[in-house]
Amino acid sequence: MEIIKIEGPYNFDSVLERFALDPLWPVNIDERKVSVPLWIAGEPEVLSVQATGTTWEPEFLVEGLSLINRQEALKKLYRLFQWDVSLKEIHNHFQKTDLKPIFDEFAGTPLILDRDPYSCLIKCIIHQQINMAFAQTLTERFVKTYGFEKDGVYFFPRPETVVDLTVEDLRKLQFNGRKAEYVIGIATAIAEGKLDLLALEKQPDEEIMKVLIKYRGIGPWTVQNFLLAGLGRPNLFPMADIGIQNAIKKLYNLERKPTYEEMEQYKKDWEPYLSYATMYLWRSVEPRARTF
């Protein structure tokens, strides 16, 4: 058991609300708790993270840590929950922009990362060009069919498992042929060591874009979402994202979705924290699990 205290604001309830949209995250809204699947020292482990503080005085209870790999586990938790990023400066920056009402409503919401870069990249490919509800369903089928469960939490299938799948295997889950090929292709590149996500993680955004865009099924939208949700890069704004377009339409009371030219103008005031603008815009149009 470990108690973690960080600088506020940090809104863990908003984090849980967003996790609750994904059926693969075991969230307990009432207890303010989530179970987190992590690979620690090459082994699957499940940790429990529970908020015991407030948005402005954040505190967390972490259970399931082993003495042997405690530091590695904590490092991964800090990365996933972005506990080492001070949100105060970011919050103050947006007080002088059109996004002030949203940042006040969801004050202290961090960038919310996926469990690890590999599962994030696979998830981004699965989510391409389909609505969110079906994307979640398709991802859940993929993970529950070919991944595995530990302590009530599902782990994504490892690249070595996906390599042995066929297009027909994934078509049975309602993947289309191309998307099945893309997922298997990326997993194969990772399993064979041709694509090293850990090494890539240390590169600048532009270099990561150059490397990933070469793979079939990966376009700019996929890379931008990977940089944001997989690596937590702070200045990403995927203008092609439907959720972003709908949120801006709502924010400015537009009769139609904004053009790219309009979005370019809007986002000027939001730099260098475009990823946070993206997150808060998403939150403004997502269903809420509960009002706190």
Element (H, E) at 148: strand 148-150
Rounded to an integer, what distance in angstroms lies between the CA atom of residue 69 and that of residue 127? 33
Assess contact for 20 and 29: CB atoms under 8 A: yes
Helices 205-212 & 220-229, crossing angle to 10 degrees? Answer: 130
Q: Which class for 198: exposed (0-12), middle (13-18), buried (19 or more C-beta within 10 A)?
A: exposed
Contact 58, 51 (CB under 8 A): yes
Question: What is the spatial distance between Cα 88 and Cα 167, in angstroms, rounded to a whole number?
Answer: 47
Q: Which structure tokens are listed for 265?
A: 């103008």
Give the active site residue among 22, 98, 205, 241: 241
Distance between CA atoms of 109 and 40, rounded to whole angstroms?
26
Sign of CA dihedral 120, 126, 131, 136: negative
For residue 154, list its beta bridge partners. Answer: 149
Exposed e or buried b for every residue in 143-161, given b needs 16+ CB within 10 A?
beebbeeeeebbbbbbbee
- What are 43's strand-pairing partners? 40
Residue 196 is a catalytic residue: no
Q: What is the maximum alpha-carbon separation in the chain?
A: 57
Alpha carbons 39 and 37: distance in angstroms, whole number: 7
Give the residue numbers marked as catalytic: 241
